[in-house]
């Protein structure tokens, strides 16, 4: 265990200072310059390496940090890590998720070890880490598209903190409908409407492709006819 017990836990100075310095630099990087984006992405991953290493010795309960530890770390991320509350909450949530998904536990975990785990699992950006934590990294583009159209089952945590299928179906928002609780609701009529629109789009695509093929064939015939005409003129 590092310098603190659970009751008085705080991030090690080296971890929180590195996180804070990185956040200052991230906040100063502005614009759409690719180099700035690349640097910001690298700094964000470094922050996660520091944060995951900093909390790696704390035992997770159902995949979560103890409430008092979570509250302390969030406060430190805000006060010493130079983060807004929403960012601090997101960073800690993803860091805990990374510990759970990649089985990063122990009191001798270093930021370099976490970086190695990320590299082995192709975590090259914050976006990829978020997907891995949510389990979306295992889904294909088609899977994700279907979820946006039809929805997906809810998830819940088992006794080990792993995400498993929940007890409710989560409808998407595109229909604009809501149930009595204000949650998005997809009706059978909405689904039939979508299927009809999809059939129309498929038919339109097929017609477009056929027309394009006919046009290409006609143009090819014109070129062939011109070539034949030129050949005949050359023979005169």
User: Is the same domain home to 120 and 151?
Assistant: no
Does some domain include residue 201?
Answer: yes
Cα(121)–Cα(128) distance, integer angstroms: 10
User: Is the same domain home to 113 and 207?
Assistant: no
What pLDDT is recorded for position 5? Answer: 52
Domain range holding 164?
139-186
Span 218-233, pLDDT tens digits: 776 666 655 655 665 5
User: Is the same domain home to 206 and 143?
Assistant: no
User: Is the same domain home to 181 and 191?
Assistant: no
Domain boundary (165, 186, 207) is at: 186
Span 21-44, pLDDT tens digits: 999 999 888 766 677 888 999 999
Cα(83)–Cα(177) distance, integer angstroms: 36
Kindly report which listed range (72-86, 193-207, 210-224) carries the lowest average pLDDT score.
210-224
Does some domain include residue 115?
Answer: yes
Does some domain include residue 181?
Answer: yes
User: Is the same domain home to 30 and 131?
Assistant: yes
Confidence of residue 2 (pLDDT cuts 50, 70, 90): very low
Does some domain include residue 85?
Answer: yes
Confidence of residue 235 (pLDDT cuts 50, 70, 90): low
What pLDDT is recorded for position 4? Answer: 47
Does some domain include residue 114?
Answer: yes
Does some domain include residue 31?
Answer: yes
pLDDT winner (highest mean) among 115-119, 132-136, 183-187, 190-194: 115-119
User: Is the same domain home to 16 and 94?
Assistant: yes
Does some domain include residue 1?
Answer: no
User: Is the same domain home to 131 and 173?
Assistant: no
- Label residue 224 exposed, middle or buried (CB < 10 Å: 0-12, 13-18, 19+): exposed
Q: Is the pLDDT of residue 162 over 60?
A: yes
User: Is the same domain home to 22 and 131?
Assistant: yes
Task: Give the mean model confidence (pLDDT) for residues 69-74.
Answer: 94
Does some domain include residue 151?
Answer: yes
User: Is the same domain home to 176 and 194?
Assistant: no
User: Is the same domain home to 151 and 165?
Assistant: yes
Confidence of residue 53 (pLDDT cuts 50, 70, 90): very high
Kindly report which listed range (75-89, 170-184, 211-225) carries the lowest average pLDDT score.
211-225
**Tokens matching residue 94:** 């993803």
What pLDDT is recorded for position 1? Answer: 42
| For the chain, percent of residues with pLDDT exceeding 90 | 52
- Global confidence as pTM: 0.67
What pLDDT is recorded for position 114? Answer: 97
User: Is the same domain home to 71 and 177?
Assistant: no
User: Is the same domain home to 112 and 10?
Assistant: yes
Number of domains in the chain: 3
| For the chain, percent of residues with pLDDT exceeding 70 | 87
């Amino acid at each position: 265990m590092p310098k603190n017990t659970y009751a008085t836990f705080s991030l090690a100075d080296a971890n929180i200072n590195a996180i804070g310095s990185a956040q200052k630099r991230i906040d100063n990087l502005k614009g759409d310059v690719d180099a700035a984006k690349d640097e910001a992405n690298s700094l964000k991953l470094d922050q996660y390496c520091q944060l995951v290493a900093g909390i790696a010795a704390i035992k997770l309960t159902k995949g979560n940090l103890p409430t008092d530890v979570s509250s302390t770390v969030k406060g430190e991320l805000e006060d010493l890590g130079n983060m807004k509350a929403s960012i601090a909450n997101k960073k800690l949530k993803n860091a805990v998720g990374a510990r759970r998904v990649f089985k990063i536990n122990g009191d001798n975990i270093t930021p370099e070890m976490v970086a190695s785990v990320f590299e082995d699992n192709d975590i090259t950006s914050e976006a990829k880490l978020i997907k891995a934590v949510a389990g979306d990294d295992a889904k294909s583009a088609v899977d994700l598209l279907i979820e946006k159209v039809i929805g997906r089952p809810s998830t819940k945590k088992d006794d080990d903190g792993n995400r498993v299928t929940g007890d409710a179906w989560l409808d998407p928002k595109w229909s604009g409908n809501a149930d009595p609780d204000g949650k998005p609701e997809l009706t059978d009529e909405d689904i039939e409407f979508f299927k009809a629109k999809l059939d129309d789009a498929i038919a339109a695509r097929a017609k477009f492709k056929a027309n394009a093929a006919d046009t290409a064939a006609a143009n090819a015939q014109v070129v062939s006819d011109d070539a034949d005409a030129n050949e005949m003129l050359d023979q005169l």
